[in-house]
């Protein structure tokens, strides 16, 4: 688009790829995010000192912070995202639920108000029916959430949820919903412009996650048919419109085994997994964000949105999947990303880079497109086998494992998929049992050293060459 870019970085990110690629870069403080990336005034000052006109907040840190959106506006900067009021209204999960109810969008049966005392909680819980879920009113992402299977567990769970919510969000309000067993997590991408148009760009299936960290996402979902897609897309647009939403957003749903869908929450930012939507829709979502922020009208309508083929994204994290996914920051001795037709590597690292220990472990997103799901899985399997990282442990081997898993291949997914797959006690998981020994050994080594094992800087030439061959990764 011919737009010049300014990167911000902390002292730990001086060597980051985004800093190398940007036209200019400004240091915003010390490594802890609370002293750099989360300091609103520092980011605003960086924009003003470089003459920036607009600020893209990315996916984390201040991306869903209404105060930051407000501060940008007050400083005369365009915030590339929704209005502060829309962030605020969707940030309150109870208020968001009420918007959904008002728009005739199904929500999980439960209370539409934060709960008062334990007696009221017990009343609501028995009306809703056990098992129930206690959730933080200002929550999201699983914090302050408690599953309660029986009345006897209610009081303890309430206490725990309240204190976790208070600590995490500064507000101990919680509410109650019926618990949906083994749901799928399916979300709808929406785009709204400042002139009242709202369109959806189909769904992403994000059920493969661990502790609320997504590992694999795909579009379309193997579970949706045209009718359900249409109804969920329409519901997402109604919520976006009711919230006064402008720019790119995501409406999250739980879908149960009987194909009922329930509104969960709205994410008021571009998401990590947006590339799968870009590949099946043939549209650049960040470009759309910039156009919308500049006040332009959407240049397409819902009828122009036609998905084509299948896209899958795998998150390559610096973690050891066979040692409880412990972070594995450190020096990347050698890196060879996958490439080839319909393979996209959205990476933040390079050969010789040292992954700092301060932030999350995402190194790269590997995204492939295929004419159908089978072709996309085959292409991802090939790409993962070619993708080589020497120096740090990565999620690549577990991603390869998932691509071969019969349930994954058949599209039998739920938010419990990964727990299930890694449940080595299942008889059919006999081939995975050796992982237990690997996990135990790695954890013991970790405990002995008090830190991850050092990078193998002295790897011999032949061992290195072996490590770089496709399909020879640690299993």
Which residues of the chain form contacts with ligand MV4 (CB under 6 A)? Answer: 108, 133, 140-142, 177-180, 183, 185, 209, 212, 254, 264-265, 415
Q: CB of 183: closest distance to ligand MV4 in angstroms?
A: 6
Q: CB of 437: closest distance to ligand MV4 in angstroms?
A: 28
* 34/410 Cα distance (integer angstroms): 43
Could you tell me which of 275, 103, 100, 260 has the C-alpha nearest to residue 186?
A: 260
To the query of whether residue 211 is one of the catalytic residues in this protein, the response is no
Active-site hit among 269, 291, 344, 379? 269
CB-nearer residue toward ligand MV4: 254 or 323: 254
CB-nearer residue toward ligand MV4: 183 or 370: 183
Q: Collect all residues with Cβ–Cβ distance below 8 Å to 176 and sequence separation of at least 6.
A: 110, 111, 115, 121, 124, 125, 128, 132, 133, 134, 135
Q: Collect all residues with Cβ–Cβ distance below 8 Å to 443 and sequence separation of at least 6.
A: 323, 324, 326
Q: How far is CA 24 from the centre of its chain?
A: 28
Q: CB of 60: closest distance to ligand MV4 in angstroms?
A: 16
Q: CB of 470: closest distance to ligand MV4 in angstroms?
A: 32
Q: Is 276 helix (H, G, I), strand (E, B) or coil?
A: helix
Query: What phi, psi does 61 have (nearest 5°)?
Result: 45, -110
Per-residue CA distances from 48 to 1, 6, 41, 76 (Å): 21, 11, 10, 9
CB-nearer residue toward ligand MV4: 321 or 330: 321
329 with 284: CB under 8 angstroms?
A: no
118 with 159: CB under 8 angstroms?
A: no
Q: Is 200 helix (H, G, I), strand (E, B) or coil?
A: strand
* 180/362 Cα distance (integer angstroms): 29
CB-nearer residue toward ligand MV4: 177 or 203: 177
Q: CB of 336: closest distance to ligand MV4 in angstroms?
A: 32
Q: CB of 448: closest distance to ligand MV4 in angstroms?
A: 33
Q: CB of 180: closest distance to ligand MV4 in angstroms?
A: 4
Q: How far is CA 437 from the centre of its chain?
A: 30
* 419/47 Cα distance (integer angstroms): 43
**Alpha helix (H) ranges present in 152-296?**
154-169, 226-242, 274-281, 285-293
Per-residue tokens: 146? 């408690």
* 194/197 Cα distance (integer angstroms): 7
Per-residue tokens: 338? 């996958």
CB-nearer residue toward ligand MV4: 231 or 416: 416
CB-nearer residue toward ligand MV4: 108 or 362: 108
* 145/193 Cα distance (integer angstroms): 34
Q: Output the CA torsion 318→322→325→326 (10° steps).
A: -80
* 288/273 Cα distance (integer angstroms): 16
CB-nearer residue toward ligand MV4: 196 or 324: 324
* 386/355 Cα distance (integer angstroms): 21
Q: CB of 368: closest distance to ligand MV4 in angstroms?
A: 23
CB-nearer residue toward ligand MV4: 56 or 178: 178
Q: Is 259 helix (H, G, I), strand (E, B) or coil?
A: coil
Q: Residues with catalytic annotation?
A: 269
């Amino acid at each position: 688009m011919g737009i010049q870019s300014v990167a911000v970085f902390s002292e730990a990110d001086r060597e980051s790829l985004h800093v190398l690629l940007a036209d200019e870069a400004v240091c915003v403080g010390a490594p802890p995010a609370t002293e750099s990336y989360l300091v609103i005034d520092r980011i605003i000052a960086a924009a003003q000192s470089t003459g920036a006109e607009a600020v893209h907040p990315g996916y984390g840190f201040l991306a869903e912070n209404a105060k930051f959106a407000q501060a940008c506006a007050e400083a005369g900067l365009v915030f590339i995202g929704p209005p502060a009021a829309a962030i605020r209204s969707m940030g309150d999960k109870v208020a968001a639920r009420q918007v959904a109810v008002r728009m005739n969008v199904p929500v999980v049966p439960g209370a539409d108000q934060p709960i008062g005392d334990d007696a009221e909680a017990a009343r609501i819980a028995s009306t809703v029916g056990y098992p129930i879920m206690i959730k933080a009113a200002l929550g999201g992402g699983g914090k302050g959430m408690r599953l309660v299977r029986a009345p006897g567990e209610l009081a303890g769970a309430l206490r725990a949820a309240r204190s976790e919510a208070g600590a995490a969000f500064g507000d101990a309000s919680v509410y109650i919903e019926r618990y949906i067993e083994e749901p799928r997590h399916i979300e709808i991408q929406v785009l709204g412009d400042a002139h009242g148009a709202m369109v959806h760009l189909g769904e992403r299936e994000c059920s493969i996650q661990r502790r609320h960290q997504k590992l694999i996402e795909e579009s379309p979902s193997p579970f949706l048919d045209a009718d359900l897609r249409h109804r969920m897309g329409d519901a997402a647009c109604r919520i976006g419109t009711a919230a006064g939403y402008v720019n790119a957003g995501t409406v999250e749903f739980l879908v149960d085994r009987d194909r009922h869908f329930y509104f969960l929450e709205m994410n008021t930012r571009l998401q990590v997994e947006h590339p799968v939507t870009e590949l099946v829709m043939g549209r650049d979502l960040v470009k759309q964000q910039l156009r919308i922020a500049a006040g332009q009208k959407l240049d397409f309508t819902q009828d122009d949105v036609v998905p084509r083929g299948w896209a899958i994204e795998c998150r390559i994290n610096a973690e050891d999947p066979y040692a409880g996914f412990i972070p594995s920051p450190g020096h990347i001795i050698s890196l060879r990303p996958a490439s080839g037709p319909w393979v996209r590597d959205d990476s933040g690292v390079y050969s010789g880079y040292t992954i700092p220990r301060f932030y999350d472990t995402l190194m790269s997103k590997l995204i492939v497109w295929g004419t159908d799901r089978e072709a996309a899985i085959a292409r991802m399997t090939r790409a993962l086998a070619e993708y080589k990282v020497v120096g740090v442990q990565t999620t690549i081997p577990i991603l390869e494992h998932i691509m071969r898993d019969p349930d994954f291949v058949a599209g039998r997914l739920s938010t419990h998929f990964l727990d299930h797959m890694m449940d080595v006690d299942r008889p059919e998981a006999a081939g995975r049992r050796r992982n237990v020994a690997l996990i135990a050994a790695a954890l013991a080594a970790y405990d002995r050293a008090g830190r991850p094992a050092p990078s193998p800087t002295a790897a011999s030439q032949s061992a290195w060459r072996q490590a770089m061959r496709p399909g020879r990764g640690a299993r």
